[in-house]
Amino acid sequence: MTTLLVFVDGIGLGTPGAHNPFDHRGARSILRPLAGRGDAAPDGWHLQPLDATLGVPGLPQSASGTATILTGFNVAQEIGEHLFAFPDARVRKIIDERSILMRARMAGGSSAYLNAFTHERAKASEDRSQSVHRGACTCAAIAGGGRLYTVDHLVEGRAALFDLTHEVVRAMGIPAPTRTMAEAACCVLNGAREVDLSLFELFLTDKAGHAQDTFFARREVQRTERFLEALASIADPARDTIVVVSDHGNLEDLSTRGHTMANVPALAWGRGARALIAPWRSLVDVGDAVLAHALG
């Protein structure tokens, strides 16, 4: 059995209008409910809105929100604030103690973070003595001695890069092979099926929201949706579970450069999907439930 958690940075349940790239021919299927027009998730997919504010004043932020998802613990409440960008020492400590990827291994299962890194970046991120920025997903992956996947796993068809089809990374000088969206989805699913619990991260959605660039935003909406469609088209609903969740709103409202107070979507497809997410009400509910589902 396979449980794949797809983390999509900065997407909320928005309101209809030109400010919302999920609306106006942006999203057409899985992400259409984020347009705010009352659309249901398509057949096979189940949607549960989640509170991202975590009972803490202020705008939800990436470090504390993502860490909450990946630990099942209210990180913002614990540190008394929403923490933006990268986890600090307080948040890293919580992730080190409660990462669901680490706890899967401690319970006798297996886990993987399916985003591939260059060898240099993977080595630097795993070496805690080096002063490098690590996102919450990376912290969750290396907690308890976990290892990061590299371009070797990418070439083997067991991982993917954050931009999926590699136009962005090739422009950055990384010699990644070109891939179709279907090929990228197949590689992610291949990697997911090797372990009990896996995580894959998409973050260009958040960058598009901060940029307030309608073309960029709609492109990422459509690319993300195509990736999810491709995953579901090759996955087996009897053995695979795909869960999609975000940390805070952003992309759904291009009228502001910052984050929003919007609820975020939890979307699930496949084995036990409806029962898995139906009880969820906030980001706190995700981590432990996904871990139990993966090991059950």
Q: Which amino acid is at 53?
A: T
Mean pLDDT across 130-146: 92
Q: Please tell me the distance from the alpha carbon of residue 125 to that of residue 34, in angstroms, as a whole number.
A: 34
Reported confidence tier of residue 6, pLDDT bands at 50, 70, 90: very high
90 sits in which H/E element: helix 89-98
pLDDT tens digit sequence for 13-59: 999 999 999 998 899 999 999 999 999 999 999 999 999 999 999 99
Confidence check: pLDDT of 139 > 80: yes
| Rounded Cα gap, residues 68 and 63, in angstroms | 9
State residue 113's pLDDT score: 98
At 117, give phi and psi (nearest 5°): -120, 155
Asked if 52 and 282 count as a contact pair (C-beta separation under 8 A), the reply is yes
Give per-residue pLDDT as tens, 225-262: 999 999 999 999 999 999 999 999 999 999 999 999 99
Residue pair 251/27 in contact by the 8 Å Cβ criterion: no
Average confidence (pLDDT) over 69-97 = 97
CB 290 within 8 A of CB 49: no
pLDDT tens per residue across span 180-217: 999 999 999 999 999 999 999 999 999 999 999 999 99
Residue 170: predicted pLDDT: 87
Against a cut of 0.95, is the pTM above it?
yes
131 has pLDDT over 80: no
* Rounded Cα gap, residues 260 and 256, in angstroms: 8
Name which of 262, 15, 202 is nearest 23 in CA terms. 15
245: CB partners within 8 A, 6+ apart: 5, 6, 7, 8, 50, 69, 264, 265, 266, 267, 283, 286
At residue 275, the pLDDT reads 98
User: What does the longest C-alpha to C-alpha distance in the chain come to?
Assistant: 49
pLDDT of residue 225: 98
Is pLDDT above 80 for 130?
no
CATH 3.40.720.10 fits 2-295, yes or no: yes
Angle, nearest 10°, between helix axes 204-211 and 214-234?
160
pLDDT computed for residue 24 by the predictor = 83
Indicate the helix (H) or strand (E) that contains 223: helix 214-234
**pLDDT over threshold 80, residue 129:** no
Residue 10 reports pLDDT greater than 90: yes
pLDDT reported for residue 96: 97
pLDDT at 140: 98
Structure tokens that stand for 116 in this block: 């591939």
The two tokens of residue 7 are: 């983390």
Q: DSSP assignment of 133-156, as one string?
A: ---HHHHHHHGGG---EEHHHHHT
pLDDT of 272 > 80? The answer is yes
Element housing 86 (H / E): none
How far apart are the C-alpha atoms of 283 and 232, rounded to whole Å?
23
Q: What is the mean pLDDT of the chain?
A: 96
Nearest 5°: CA angle at 30, between 29 and 36?
A: 85
